[in-house]
Each structure stands twice: as structure tokens, then as C-alpha cells.
A and B are shown apart, each in its own frame.
Chain A
Amino acid sequence: MNCSSRLTGLLFWTTTVAFGQSVYSIADMFKPRATPADSIFNVSILMLAICAAIFVVVGGLLTFTIVRFRRRKVDDNREPAQVYGSTRIEIAWTVIPVLIVLALGMATARSVVEVQNKRIPADALKVTVIGHQWWWEFRYPELGIVTANELHVPLSTTTKSTVTALTLESADVAHSFWVPQLAGKMDLIPGVTTSMWIDPRQQGIFLGNCAEYCGMQHANMLLRVVVEPAADFEKWVDAQKMDAASDPRLESARTTFLSLNCINCHAVRGTIAKGTFGPDLSHLMSRATLGAGMIPNTVENLRAWLKDPQTIKHGNLMPNMQLNSRELDEIVKYLSSLK
């Protein structure tokens, strides 16, 4: 499978299959769908209007000057009048920019305070986002859920505003959480805890990227924020809270999985697998992609990934486990049962 058809397949998959939800794959900051992004949008429009006006005035003056005062063919060779300056004009073009800076500064301050100093309601959903080279871990401490790469949050409606408060940390190097339609970016810095909040008012899946260079696969550290109505969100929470599926018919497959090194890095709820270096696999098949947005999460792709993750996402921290074909079959069978 070449890389290109794989990823084209991914978009097809994500737009049509995933949960029957619409995917907003064009992450346009000028189409905000949550309050922080709205606040940024509003100050941006004001700023663009001011800058456009300055551009028209100064650009117009420049154009007029180079056209009007160009040397013409039928020119005498006398030098133009030598003008050294004009205090009055110079004061004008100093004072006007000062006033513009003051106005823009106040609009900026207002938006900064609106977004940063927001009082987070006590009933806000709390999520801890942990950046890893090159995937996202999402922990819901009050719900006891751990998942990866897809952040599920409840929809905020006009009747009931629902805020999700994100606490951001990093397990290794600096990353940045950026879903343009919901909020501006916020860095995840090791040794520091940062925070942000969103209250998305449109259902659907919003795409984002890691926005701080974090090493080899920075490009493939993609984010998906799944915004769903309260009832659907509750359903998802209930499913995620359950122990991993434990089909008695897959007993030998599970034993194979648990006997291998997989469990040193990965956790499967309700088993002895409690590793924390890699994504939690308890409900692996409820997620749409593998490798943080690298390929669609299908059984065939899962098998390809397990066979050699390095050919699919070069440099990622999961080594080629050199599984033989029996082990591969069993593990794929087991993991693909983790709905």
C-alpha cells in the first residue's frame, strides 16, 4: 500500500464512515464554532479592517507618488526643490499611529481577558491533555477514562452551556494543541501545566494539528475533537468506562497479547496490561485512526501497523516487534475485538 492511497483513503473514511458525524476538515479560523474562537474572530475582524484601511491609504499614497513624481522623458535636468522635512506633517504621522495602537491595544486586552480570565464553571468537564511524541493522550480524571488522539466533548447549546476545561501537560518535549475552529493554540510544555477551555456549539468532528515542532513525526500528530450532544456523549462515556471486551472465544488471542511485550507500553482496562508509554488500547476500535491520524483504523491497517509500524510512521516510538504470523493473527484478532 503506498502512502498516498493510504491517506486519501483516510479522508474518505473520516468524512463518510466515522460515527455518521460530519467532519470539518478545513480548519478555518474565520469559521469559529466556540466562544474562545469567536472572541479571537471578533478582534481579528477589527484588526483586519484597521490594517486594510492603513494599507489602502499608505499604499495609495505610495502609488500616487511613484506615478506622479516619476522622471519623465521630456524633463529638464534641473533638480527638484530640496525639501528637508516638515515638523507639522511629521507630528501628524506620529500621533495618528499612536492613537491606532491605543485603540487596537484596548481591543486586544479585552479579548485576552475574555479568553484567559474566564471563570470556569464548577460543573465543567475536566480533561487532562498529555502530549507525547507523536500522539495525544486524553484523561478524564473525574470519569476515570483514558483515551488517545480523539477528544470527545459534549455540545454546548443555547439552553445549556457546557464548558470543557483542558489541562495541558507534556510527557517529553514541547507540543501545542490547535483546533482553529474551537480556540487558539496553547502549548504543552514539560514541567509546566497550562490550561484552556472550549464550549463548542456545533456537533461534528473538528480537525487540528500539533503546532509546535516536536521532532521527526511532528507532521503526523493530528487531533480530532468529537463534539456530540449530551446524550451521545454520556453513551460514549459509559462505553469507555467499561472494562475491555473479553470474548471467551478469543481466550487464546488474549493470552498471546498479554504474554508479549505489548503490555509494557499499552494498557487494556481489566487486564494485567497497564503500560503507560503508548496509547490506551481498552477501546481501540472505537477510534477512527491509527498512529494519531496516520491511517484509518481498519483491521487490515491494524495488521499492517503491527507488522511494522516504522514503515507506516517512520521514527515513531513503537518498534517493530518482529511478530511471527501466528502472533500477528492472534493480536489483530484480539485488538480488533476491543470495541
Chain B
Amino acid sequence: MPSRLHEWIVTVDHKRLGILYIATALFFFAVAGVLAALMRLQLAYPNATFLPPDVFNRLFTMHGTTMVFLVGMPFFAGLANYLTPLMIGARDMAFPRLNAFGFWIFLFGGILLYMSYVTGEGLAGHGTAPDVGWFAYAPLTERAFSRGTSTDYWILSIILTGIGTTASSINTIATIVSMRCKGMTLAKMPLFAWLMLVVSSMVLFILPPLTAGQIMLLLDRYLGAHFFDTQAGGSAVLWQHFFWLFGHPEVYVLMLPGFACASEIIPVFSRKPMFGRPAMIGATIGIGMLSSGVWAHHMFTVGMTASSNIYFAVASMAVGIPTGIKIFNWLGTMYGGKIRFDTPMLFCVAFLFQFLIAGLTGVMLAVAPFDWQVTDSYFVVAHFHYVLLGGLLFTLFGAIYYWFPKATGKMLSEKLGKWHFWLLVIGFHLTFDTLHFAGTLGMPRRIYTYAPGRGWDTLNLVASIGVIFQAAGVACLVWNIIRSLRKGEPAGNDPWDGWTLEWATSSPPPEYNFAVSPEVRSSRPLWDLKHPEDPDWRYE
């Protein structure tokens, strides 16, 4: 046993690091889910006294920070690590030891954040986690309003996880650029790798403003700088610009790995190649570029001029165009296919419907006047949970069912998978459909309680009931994973009749991935192999 543990700790194998990333992401997902459930319990009834305000404020800060930095980001890094080398026919990432460094510094960043619950200091004494919200608006984060060290835990842990993510992104780019197998030009590279290339490049552009902002805040707090300290003439709005310059593209950094998974799963289960592949790649690059120029749509209420508001409104709507192209391309892929509804595909189909709604409410939020009403309300909460839960997490769950057999050699149970799927769908819609309406009825986000009689009571109760279904769904996944690891059906090399290179090697793949370096002639090398009479390369 000790030697096996030791192997995992010292490993530089991209597959093991990928699994470590994803296991860590799932662990933090469970933690953040518990935090969310506690909040929904408090909000189920008006005037509930289950949680005091300070505890509640820590919960939503930790939930948001955890979901973005300790769940969404490691899922991206984990998928990029595990799958990219396999898909491009490489034997490992370009920098295996940088890879291990990235994971461990990320993990320690995550542990540091949660250490605040034990050792952080705040108004309430020891054991005070950060309570400034996940976007930590200045000057609430300055020493005058945030005493003690809890905010410092938030700052430092985000800087640390950012270092890990940067390392992982550089590694992914280097791997994709320089380690593709023979014959795999960029034009013939799987869409998954393309999206990972775009995401990794985005990370390198957007993390610096965040890290710079965090360091400036740290200077404010400890060395008397006055960047965001309004009492000394600093600018609160400057922090918002720094944060959203990172924060908005970050939404796409989180989302594109989900798109990447859907772009592999949907074609295989529809039995057709991706419809309009070049447009798909172009749309991804378009999203990457456009998303960097729309950050101030998070700031329509800070008093910008009418012309700035109009620019940011129209630019934000424009992101809907490449996003729409993607939805249409997935639709075009399914159209005329023979769709198999195994669990991975079920999650992707639900993703398409939910992401359609998420995209439309996103366009609504780009309409600046509508945003003046619903920003910072439960409408926004419902919108971004539609994006990140209904969109991202559904595709990630699909990805787990799709690639688990490759990573472990064991199939997950379809029956439990369907229970997981349906419970999650029901719970998700109970919780988040209702919350849109609470927002249009004036319910602001981040309130620990509310008085009865304002039209919010029933909506909140239904939303809280939904959590029970969601939790049951996730429990099915956990049980499914444990059960399959112990006595799952053997998967074989290629259980889904896939087309990309990872299905050409054994399950789980050997440490060196491929005994002989593969050579490809199209973006679906295994299709070519299985259908020599009608190979893709004739058309590409």
C-alpha cells in the first residue's frame, strides 16, 4: 500500500495527474455542494434562524470561490491532462514535472483556502473563513472593513491556484503545438484538443489581471498602498475592472472544456462527424476573442456613460453569435444521425436544452436596461447556475461516463447513470427555474434571510426542495464510481465505437500510451481504420 500511495504522490504521468485533478475537483464539488445545501436550507423559509448572517456570508463566499477555482479549473486541467496527449497520439505532456508542480500547488492553494475555517481570523475570532463574496468588491476587502486574516486566505489561495493553472495551460499549449503525432496537422486535430488550445491561451491572457489585482489588494492591506482603498482616494471601480477583465473570460474558460467534451460525445453517439468543423473552430476562437472585450457588462450599474453601456451591451450580445453557431453545429451533427441515448449522450442532450436557455438569459442580461433590474438579483444567480451547472457540469458528468471506462477499464452502470441523470435534471429545474422569477420580483442575491409576503416564499421553498433531488443524483454518481471500481464490467479498448486515438490503446492505457506512435490522415483516425471503404481523409 505505501508504495502505491508513493507512486501517486511522485507521479509525473499525465494520466495519473489528470485523475488526481479530477478526483480533487469532485471532492471540492462535494464540499461546495454541502455549503450550497446549507444555504438553501436557511433560505427555504422566510425569517429562518438556522444560520446567523456571518456564517451564511462565509458559505456563499466559499461556495462561489470553490466552484470556480477548485472545481471548474481543475476539471479543465484534469481533462486537458488526461485526454490531450492520448488524443494527439503523444506519450506524455511536454513538461511532465511542471505538470506535477501545477497540480500540487493547486491542491495546496485549495487546502489553504479551507484552512481559513480553522486558522483564519476575523471579527468573530478564530476559525473565520472569507466573507467578502467570490468577486470581493473593494473596499469591503480593505482593512477598515475586513479585519483579521480571512480575506488574506482568499487572496493567497487564489494566487496559488492561479500559478497551478498557468503551469497547466503553458504545458497544454506546448504539448498541442509540438507533440502531435505524424500526420496530425492542426486542421486534423480533434476538436477537443482545439478547444483546449484556445482555453489554455485565454488563461494566459486573463490570469495576469486577476493576479495583479490580488497583489495590489495585498499591498493595500499590508503595505499601505491605496489602489482600492477609497478612504485614501483609491478606486473601488478599478478593482471591478481588474476582476471582471479576468472574471468574464473566465466564464468561457470554465465553459469551453464542457463544449470540448460535448464536441467529442455528440458526434460519436449520433454516429456522424461534427457538422461544420471549421466553423466550430472559428466560433471557439471568436468566443475567446470577443469574451475579452465584454467584461463591463458586469458593471452596468456603476454609472458608466450611456455610450460605454451601449458598447458593452452590443458586444456582449455579439458573443451570442458564435455561441449560437456552436449550438446549431451540434444540432446539425445530430440531425440525420442514429442517436444512441447512453448516459453520456443523455447529459449532452440536456446540456443542449439548458445551455440554450442559459444563452438566451445571457442575451437578456446583455440588454443593459434589463440588467439594471436583474443584476445582483436571483435572476443572475439562476442564469449563471444554468451556465455552470446546466451547461458545464452536465457535460462534465457526460464526460465522466464517457471516459471513465478508458481511465479505469471498467464500465459505469447505465442504470445508476440514468438515475443520476434524471434526479439531477428534476432537481436542477426545481431549483433554478424558480429562482429566475424570484429575481424579477426583487429578491437580491446574497441575503441570508427575507421577510415573508414579498412573493418569494414559495419560489424559495421549491428551490430548496430541488436540492434534495440534486444531492440524490450526485450520490448515485458516487455510488456508481465506487461500485464500478470494485466490480464494474470490463470496458474493452473501445466501448463506444469511438473515433479518436484514445480508443486505439488499451483501457486503462499503458504508461507510454501507445506502443507504436500512431499516424493519422484525418480528424477521425479510428473511423478511417474501421471504414476503409469510405475514409474521412478523402473529404478533408
Contacts and interface: CB of A to CB of B under 8 A. Distances in A.
Given A69-B270, A105-B313, A105-B314, A4 B49 contact: yes
Contact of B370 (A27, A44, A58): A44
B302 interface: yes
B321 interface: yes
B148 interface: no
B455 interface: yes
Given A93-B328, A94-B321, A104-B317, A192 B236 contact: yes
A69 B453 contact: no
B53 interface: yes
A97 interface: yes
Contacts of B303: 186-187, 189, 192, 194-195
Contacts of A85: 275-279, 332
Contacts of B54: 216, 314-315
Nearest to A209: B444
Given A44-B367, A174-B236, A105 B317 contact: yes
A304 interface: no
A80 B272 contact: yes
Nearest to B536: A82
Interface residues of B, number: 101
A28 interface: yes
Contact of A29 (B338, B374, B445, B451): B374
Task: Say whether chain A's binding surface is mostly helix, strand, loop, or mixed.
Answer: mixed
B487 interface: no
Contacts of A27: 441-442, 454-455
B306 A113 contact: yes
Contacts of A172: 139, 144-145
A18 interface: no
Contacts of B363: 47, 51, 104
A26 B441 contact: yes
A213 B279 CA distance: 41
Interface in B427-475: 440-455
B337 A80 contact: yes
Contacts of B444: 178, 209-211, 218
A101 interface: yes
Contacts of B352: 62
B356 A189 contact: no
B224 interface: no
Interface in A176-192: 176, 178, 180, 183-187, 189-192
A157 interface: no
A330 B270 CA distance: 80
Interface in A2-37: 2-4, 7-8, 10-11, 15, 25-30, 37
A80 B442 CA distance: 51
A48 to B, nearest CB: 7
A122 interface: no
B452 A108 contact: no
Nearest to B341: A70
B231 A190 contact: yes
A54 interface: yes
B395 interface: no
Question: Which of B234, B356, B372 has the most A CB atoms < 10 Å from its CB?
Answer: B372
A71 B234 CA distance: 62
B447 A65 contact: no
Nearest to A54: B360
Interface of A: 2-4, 7-8, 10-11, 15, 25-30, 37, 39-40, 43-44, 47-48, 51, 54-55, 58-59, 61-62, 65-66, 69-71, 75, 79-86, 89-90, 93-94, 97-98, 101, 104-105, 107-109, 111-113, 115-117, 133, 172-174, 176, 178, 180, 183-187, 189-192, 194-195, 207-219, 293, 314-315
Name the 7 nearest CB pairs between A and B, nearest first.
A184-B372, A27-B442, A219-B447, A194-B303, A190-B230, A85-B276, A105-B314
24 contacts: A11-B452, A29-B373, A40-B369, A47-B364, A48-B364, A51-B360, A59-B353, A79-B338, A80-B270, A80-B272, A83-B273, A84-B539, A90-B329, A97-B320, A104-B363, A183-B372, A186-B301, A207-B442, A212-B376, A213-B133, A215-B57, A216-B57, A219-B448, A315-B123
